[in-house]
Amino acid sequence: MNDGLTIFTDNLNAAWYTVPVFLNTMIIGIIHYNGTTCDFVNSVVVPISNISTFVYNCIDLQGRNVIGLFESNATCSFYSSNEQIVFNYSTQDNFIISINEDNTAIYGFAGDFLFYYELNSTFQLSVWPNSLNISPLAVDIGANIDYAVVVDYCQLTPAYAVDCDFIVSLNRSLSCPNSTNAFSMITPNQFAYSDPRINQYLTNSPHYSAQTVMRVSIAWRTRCVLIGVQSFNMVLLYSLDDPMHPIGTRQNGIELMDFDKSVAWLNDQGEKAVILANSYTYSNYQWISSFMHIYDIQSDGFSDSTQPVLIYPNSQQILFRWLVPELIRLVCSSHGHLAIFDDLGIPATIYSTPSGTYPNTNSTYFTSNTVPCIRGTYRNYTGIELCVPCSNGTYVYSNSCSPCTLPDSFCPYGAVEEISYSTFESIEQDQDYFESPENTVFDDILMQNIFSFNAQSDHCVLVSPITCVLLVIALGTRSIRRETIRRGQFVADNSSHRQFVVGQFFAWVIGRNVN
């Protein structure tokens, strides 16, 4: 990846995919292998500067090692410009390439040979036998054309190989690169007896293994090197001026691996490191989780206690909706853009955004979009990190934290402006408990409730015992009047009977309400 183009390859479908680094893009160009002799592509590199070309190395159908170049005359329109075969060498499992800063040449490292491939009209290819006794796994030249760092395994005996990383001098006089210095690497005997990594060793380094992949990234501005040793679940930080003593290390605990499946410097400033913090089981290499960590090494250092300044995905920057959770690779451009790839080979790009904004990954495109900082947060530099709140006693003003100056100001964590306490209205929140009634005798309470009449609501009137009593009396009186009018006389016996019925009903109502 560079600031204008992202390239990735798919050996299952025999194609390269090109994604231009544009905002809100769903453009993907497809270049099929049938335009070349490739059967399996090992890797692909692009120039550091914004040039629409890329170089690949691959294995053809006859098992030969191939190096080739594609150039572009329009967006996503590439054509094969040159392809050459490295003759007289067998198929190489560990076959890596890197491009120098001025984009004029490619250096290649394999188990059996080294080569120099000029990117000009002559496309001269110089090949030498590998006299370094290494099985290279990763290389980075970075912004330098004199030196490269190669991470690899050294085969000490036919049944035992160890990590051995070198600083390699790149002789532009078309002579074979040679090793100038070695890094002091981690060894199994440095782990505790109970740590399963103490038994970690490699028998046959020339053959590829997913569990033994290593990564390297150089920041030439600070002369710092990140080396990821996947089998030890560890990332090591070195200075090129003192490769025998690591500046710092960070690991992800025992019984796990793949914390360092991919490492990179976020931009060409060499201040922040990006690590693909995967977790796989150590025993059977089963995936558990994938996160991307960013560490501010210049400010916080680098150790097991160092906390990342950003973990992706998070609640604000969710995983791109088309990505699967298992991430396998990340790369960065010189301006801080970040491309990530999932286990299915699907890409997504998180753009570096200006101050006062942050990249939103809840997008329908292959790229993030730029959104303003949430109220009460700020970020005063360009990057992919989230905006952060101001501390207590300050508030966000003009994309920075301004101290509160009012004598009675209210400025909590994440304040959006300075407010005086006098603007707040005091609200009494205390509530008195209900007082107990004066009557505590059950009979008194019963009689008090029977003859009480609460007219505050229709429901209270309807269920009141006195309402039932008045209703029955009214009905009884109406019946007596009708009987008197019909017979013209008052029957004492019937009246007594009705009074008896009313009394019985009255007693039933009282008993029902008491229960």
Residues 377, 275 share a domain: yes
Structure tokens at 342: 């999932």
Q: Does the residue 415 lie in any domain?
A: yes
Cα-Cα-Cα-Cα dihedral of 287, 292, 294, 295, to 10°?
-10
Contact 108, 97 (CB under 8 A): yes
Domain count, the chain: 2
Q: Does the residue 405 lie in any domain?
A: yes
Q: Of 370, 386, 402, which one is at a domain's C-terminal end? A: 386
Q: Does the residue 265 lie in any domain?
A: yes
Taken in order 208, 153, 68, 128, the sign of the CA dihedral is: negative
Q: Does the residue 253 lie in any domain?
A: yes
Determine the pLDDT at residue 101. 77
Range 101-107, long-range pairs (CB < 8 A, 24+ positions): 101/48, 101/141, 101/142, 101/143, 101/144, 101/145, 102/145, 103/47, 103/48, 103/49, 103/51, 105/172, 106/45, 106/55, 106/67, 107/139, 107/141, 107/148, 107/170, 107/177
Determine the pLDDT at residue 303. 93
Q: Of 338, 365, 386, which one is at a domain's C-terminal end? A: 386
Residues 408, 315 share a domain: no
Q: Does the residue 404 lie in any domain?
A: yes
Residues 398, 304 share a domain: no
Residues 365, 304 share a domain: yes
Q: Which of 38, 205, 45, 227 is nearest to 111 (CA)?
A: 205
pLDDT tens for the chain, 515 residues: list them: 988 888 999 999 999 998 888 777 777 889 999 989 999 999 999 988 767 889 999 999 999 999 999 998 766 789 999 999 999 999 998 999 999 877 888 999 999 999 999 988 789 999 999 988 888 999 998 677 788 999 988 887 777 788 888 898 887 667 888 888 889 887 776 777 777 777 776 777 778 777 788 899 999 889 999 999 887 888 999 999 999 999 999 988 777 888 888 999 998 888 999 999 998 888 888 999 999 999 999 999 999 999 999 999 999 999 998 899 999 999 999 899 999 999 988 889 999 999 999 999 998 888 899 999 999 999 999 999 999 999 888 999 888 899 998 888 888 888 988 888 878 777 777 777 766 666 666 666 666 666 666 666 777 777 777 777 778 888 877 776 666 666 655 444 555 555 555 555 555 545 554 44
Determine the pLDDT at residue 490. 45
Residues 401, 361 share a domain: no
Domain range for 353 is: 210-386
Side chain identity, residue 318: I
Q: Of 374, 398, 425, which one is at a domain's C-terminal end? A: 425
Residues 377, 401 share a domain: no
Residues 394, 315 share a domain: no
Residues 357, 236 share a domain: yes
Determine the pLDDT at residue 422. 79
| Angle at which helices 492-514 and 442-450 cross, to 10° | 120
Residues 420, 340 share a domain: no
Contact 227, 165 (CB under 8 A): yes
Residues 409, 307 share a domain: no
Residues 248, 372 share a domain: yes
Q: Does the residue 421 lie in any domain?
A: yes
DSSP 353: B
Cα(1)–Cα(182) distance, integer angstroms: 28
Contact 150, 139 (CB under 8 A): yes
Residues 362, 215 share a domain: yes
DSSP E strands, 247-326? 248-251, 256-257, 263-265, 272-281, 287-296, 310-312
